[in-house]
Amino acid sequence: MSPDPRRWWALAVLATAQFMVIMDTSIIAVALPEMQRDLGFSATGLQWVFNAYAVALGGLLLLGGRLSDIWGARRVFAAGWAVLTAGSVVAAAANDAGTEVLGRAVQGVGAALIAPAAMTLLMVLFAGQPRELPKAMAFYGAAAPAGGTAGVFLGGVITEWLSWPWVFVIYIPIGLLTLALIPRLLPAVPGRRGGLDVGGAIAVTGGLALAVYAIVQAPARGWTSAATLAQLGAAAALLIGFVVIQRSVRNPLMPLKVWRTPDLAAANFSMLLLGAAWIPMWYFLNLYVQQVLGFDSFASGAALVPMTALMMLLMTTVTGRLIGRFGTKRLIVTGLAVLAAGLGMLATADPDGSFAADVLPGSLVAAVGMALVFIPATISAITGVAPQEGGLASGVVNTTYQIGSALGLAAMTAVADSNGADALGDVAALTDGYSAAFTGAAVVALAGAVVAAVTLRGAKRAAADPVLVEA
């Protein structure tokens, strides 16, 4: 089969999509305090600017992959961009907290359609090109950390010199341009007949959202209150119902037999705890920099660039070689322990602290830990599955990370607020609250290291994944 002559231009469109989806999780970081002030978010409610996106993305990724199979990847990719663009309009125009959360949820739905369809299109474009596929995968993979890095910096620039709605406005012209390029550059991929597990999608997304909401409200209501227990019970029932549905429907979102793959469950649990530790660190570190150290929007964006840039550099140049030398298990265990150490350093932050002493060292150590875990855990989760289940395994591990992120942020926000993080303007109380959240996240990361050491088989690979080496 002759290669598609437009494949490299098409790859640029797909990598841009990956870049934008990941940037959408980081570009809001610096804008959070201004959004809180302008839209009336409470200290507890502010996390929904992130969690609405993460819950929708994590809960619907598997459905997005299934829709891509049934309706065709290009069609679903285009639909995802249309939805993401519409969500950006709503988020940019919001004048109250509820509308902002709605816009972010719609953006998450769009991202859940874009991500799996993009991977399918990439594989179609470079099918039969074994020498080019690793380079294409490396380029596509590098777009994720690049998006995280760019989002932090651009969020600071935009918030400082424009205003927070512009962190969403920039998605509108990019979305419209992408929609115009799709029919010109991306191949038409036919769908295939099959059922759609709508019930499973509703159960897993509803269960996740309800669990996050219950955890967010628990500090005010009480962890043993009737409302908290009822909501947690309903969330558990929905998630159990999801498993039951997967066992009974003809075309499940997540065939349960995939969990028989060695290391799949252990690697996904590592990713769950990685998200539960990393995202709270990123969230509260930004609040500490702005609300305690007093950085303006541009300075706070620049303050987080060293951390994200180091993570990107290590992921794209070093991690693949380390996998080849030490295997995935050692890197996952070591990385989670290093992340815990970095969080422990951040937990010692002082109300009268400085960026050089209280932020930079701990954030760089945490970035090293993240870089050591993310790719090895992903490889552990997808290695060993049948070729036809590779997309499913990849979707599961991405879903797990998003779920861990949402639940971890909800839990650590509860911890932070219980220790003073809801006392806006009181830098001592805020620091106590943020330090408690960093400590809690460190415990999560350390628990992840212990569990990974016990549960992962992690046989050493003879050679690193060629995609990672080429990156």
pLDDT-derived band at 52, boundaries 50, 70, 90: confident
Q: How far apart are CA 125 and CA 7, in angstroms?
A: 6
Handedness of CA 232, 207, 278, 445 (dihedral sign): positive
Chain centroid, CA 419 distance in Å: 26
Give 464's pLDDT tier (boundaries 50, 70, 90). very low
Q: Which two tokens stand for residue 60?
A: 């619907």
pLDDT value at position 471?
Answer: 29
Q: Are 61 and 77 in contact (CB under 8 A)?
A: no
pLDDT score, position 230: 94
- Residue 391: the pLDDT is 60
pLDDT digits (tens, 9 = 90+) for 273-322: 998 999 888 888 888 988 898 887 778 778 878 887 888 788 778 887 88
Q: Check: CB of residue 280 under 8 Å from CB of residue 437.
A: yes
387-431 pLDDT tens trace: 555 566 767 777 788 788 878 888 888 888 888 877 777 889 999
> Which of 176, 188, 164 shows the shortest CA–CA distance to 20?
176
Of the pLDDT bands very low, low, confident and very high (cuts 50, 70, 90), residue 32 is confident
Average pLDDT, integer, range 144-161: 75
Going by pLDDT thresholds of 50, 70 and 90, the confidence category of residue 435 is: very high
Q: In 3D, which of 336, 403, 449, 470 has the Cα closest to residue 60?
A: 403
- Count CA atoms closer than 13 A to 432's CA, side-chain side: 12
d(CA 275, CA 61): 16
Residue with tokens 């955890």: 215
Query: Contact at 8 Å (CB) between 246 and 256?
Result: yes
Residue 84 CB-density burial (10 A; 0-12 exposed, 13-18 middle, 19+ buried): buried
Q: How far apart are CA 306 and CA 314, in angstroms?
A: 12
- The pair of three-digit structure tokens given for residue 1, joined into one six-digit string: 């089969």
Rounded percentage of the chain residues whose pLDDT exceeds 90: 25
> pLDDT band at 448, cuts 50/70/90?
very high
Closest CA to 464 of 376, 382, 393: 376
User: Is 70 exceeded by the pLDDT of residue 133?
Assistant: no
Q: Which two tokens stand for residue 234?
A: 């309903």
Structure tokens at 147: 């998006």
Q: Is the pLDDT of residue 467 over 60?
A: no
**Nearest to 152, CA basis, from 285, 3, 321, 341:** 285
Span 188-200, average pLDDT: 74
Residues 6+ apart with CB under 8 A from 316: 138, 141, 142, 145, 471
Domains, the chain: 1-187 (1.20.1250.20), 205-250 (no CATH), 258-465 (1.20.1250.20)
DSSP state of 458: -
Question: pLDDT digit string (tens) for 320-367?
Answer: 788 888 888 999 999 999 999 999 999 998 898 888 999 999 999 999
Quote the pLDDT of residue 42.
Answer: 80
Return the pLDDT at 385. 65
Residue pair 69/191 in contact (Cβ under 8 Å)? The answer is yes
Q: Which residues of 7-38 are buried (b: 16+ CB within 10 A; e: fewer)?
A: bbebbebbbbbbbbbbbbbbbbbbbbbbbbeb
Which pLDDT belongs to residue 100?
94
Has residue 145 got a pLDDT over 70? no
- pTM confidence score: 0.77
**Confidence at 34, pLDDT banded by 50, 70, 90:** confident
Work out the mean pLDDT of the chain and round it to a whole number.
83
What share of the chain has pLDDT > 70, as a percent?
Answer: 89
Helices (H), 27-96: 32-39, 48-71, 73-93
Q: Grade residue 462 by pLDDT with cuts at 50, 70 and 90.
A: very low
First to last CA, the chain: 26
Task: Give the other-Cβ count within 10 Å of 378's Cβ.
Answer: 23
Token digits of residue 262:
């060695």
Span 59-69, pLDDT tens digits? 787 788 778 87
pLDDT of residue 277: 93
Alpha-carbon dihedral 182, 188, 191, 197, rounded to 10 degrees: -10
Report the pLDDT value the prediction gives residue 7, as an integer from 0 to 100. 80
DSSP string over 193-258: -----HHHHHHHHHHHHHHHHHHHHHHHH-TTSHHHHHHHHHHHHHHHHHHHHHHHSSS-SS-GGG
Flag the least confident range among 42-56, 129-143, 359-373.
129-143
* Res 104: pLDDT: 93
- Determine the pLDDT at residue 262: 76
pLDDT score recorded for residue 337? 97
What pLDDT shows up at residue 147?
Answer: 73
